[in-house]
Amino acid sequence: MTTTQLISANGTSAFVPAPASPYQGDIARYWDQEARPVNLRLGDVDGLYHHHYGIGDVDHAALGDPGDGQYEKRLIAELHRLESAQAEVLLDHLGSIGRDDTLMDAGCGRGGSMVMAHQRFGCTVQGVTLSAKQADFANQRAQELGIESHVHARVCNMLDTPFETGQAAASWNNESSMYVDLHDLFAEHSRVLAVGGRYVTITGCWNPRYGQPSKWVSQINAHFECNIHSRREYLRAMADNRLVPQTVIDLTPATLPYWELRATSSLVTGIEEAFINSYRDGSFQYLLIAADRV
């Protein structure tokens, strides 16, 4: 694989793998330019910056009166609580992790889940992202928290990481697998994971029972420049790469409250209707799959 030199925000340079395809180059540029308030203002609540959605019931008592001048601030805090709850559920399924273990976050974004994993387990967490801007942001946050020796993001292709074979005790994709071929992705996770290691993904996928991707799914693909896979494709690609599912949880009912609340906020991006309608009509699902490397 060819490499390219990137200059980070702090002026340092490093040689990193180049994106594997023109498409992934487009995705790198997309996320380098992304600065949506829905990603940044939620993270400002407590310094955990996520790039995924939320699960759980809305705490309407915490929201209070919509006519109150502080209502929007409380709504943002509630959306952030739900997205952090989603990350907690993913971490719940990583299995037994020790302080000496290494974890890999494939598609780490601005690093919120990596910080949470280190805070829970005390272990080392290595993140990968195509976006130099996201990696710099995540590494700056790790420095601010004094955990840079344990939490680090690097710019590279999640299909071809620099980690040693069998290095990771666990790994995950949190809403990032729709940007890559699943067979290539799970082959790399299978390589990096130790035998007996745990892989977890939380992802949106189209429901094969619907027949084909619905118009709502097509709108989501266009909005995020991604390619949403079917539930069947996930399970087949895992089976082909020595990843045996232990748990499959349909989180669709649990994520609807997040989307319904977000649709009433000042942070709307225009894609909320597609998510809500596709979840309601059954054409789209929000799944957690936990699999063991055999």
DSSP string, 29-44: HHHHH---HHHHHHHT
Domain-embedded: residue 203: yes
Is position 1 within any domain? no
In 3D space, the residue among 122, 175, 132, 125 whose CA is nearest the CA of residue 154 turns out to be 132
The residues that bridge with 290 in the sheet, in sequence order, are 200, 247
Residue 5 has pLDDT above 70, yes or no: no
Question: Is 13 a domain residue?
Answer: no
Residue among 173, 203, 186 at smallest CA distance from 293: 186
Give me the pLDDT at residue 3, please: 40
Per-residue pLDDT tens for 207-235? 999 999 999 999 999 999 999 999 999 99
| Phi–psi pair at 232, nearest 5 degrees | -60, -40
Q: Position of tokens 């130099």?
A: 132
Q: Are residues 192 and 221 in contact, defined by beta-carbon separation less than 8 angstroms?
A: no
* Environment class of 291 (CB within 10 Å of its CB; exposed 0-12, middle 13-18, buried 19+): buried
- CA Rg value for the chain: 18
Mean pLDDT to the nearest integer, 185-191: 98
| 79: in domain | yes
Residues 1-28, mean pLDDT to the nearest whole number:
56
CA neighbor of 24 nearest in space, from 40, 1, 8, 43:
1
Q: Which helix (H) or strand (E) holds 258?
A: helix 252-262
Phi and psi dihedrals of 270, rounded to 5? 100, -5
Quote the CA–CA distance of 31 and 25 in Å, as a whole number. 10
For 26-59, the pLDDT digits (tens) are 999 999 998 888 889 999 999 999 999 999 999 9
Mean pLDDT on 250-254: 98
In a domain, 202, yes or no: yes
128 compared with 26, residue with greater pLDDT:
128
pLDDT band of 12, cuts 50, 70, 90: very low
pLDDT value at 4 more than 70: no
Q: pLDDT of 73-117, one tens digit each?
A: 999 999 999 999 999 999 999 999 999 999 999 999 999 999 999
- The mean pLDDT value of the chain amounts to 93
Backbone angles phi, psi at 256, to 5 degrees: -55, -45
Q: What's the confidence (pLDDT) of residue 294?
A: 98
For position 28, which CATH number holds? 3.40.50.150
pLDDT reported for residue 34: 85
d(CA 74, CA 278): 27
Cα dist. 257→56, 105, 281 in Å?
A: 7, 26, 15
Q: Is residue 119 part of a domain?
A: yes
Task: List the one residue out of 90, 24, 7, 86 whose CA is nearest residue 52.
Answer: 86
Summarize the confidence of residues 161-185 as an average pLDDT: 97
Residue pointed to by tokens 């040689």: 15
- Out of 11-20, 39-48, 204-213, 239-248, least confident range: 11-20
Q: How confident is the model at residue 293 (pLDDT cuts 50, 70, 90)?
A: very high
Is the pLDDT at 60 greater than 60? The verdict is yes
Q: What is the pLDDT of residues 258-278, one digit of tens each?
A: 999 999 999 999 999 999 999
Structural domain contains residue 133: yes
Assess if residue 288 is contained within a domain.
yes
Domain count, the chain: 1
CA dihedral 110, 95, 190, 248 (to 10 degrees): -90
Residue 8 has pLDDT above 70, yes or no: no
Range of the domain at 169: 21-293
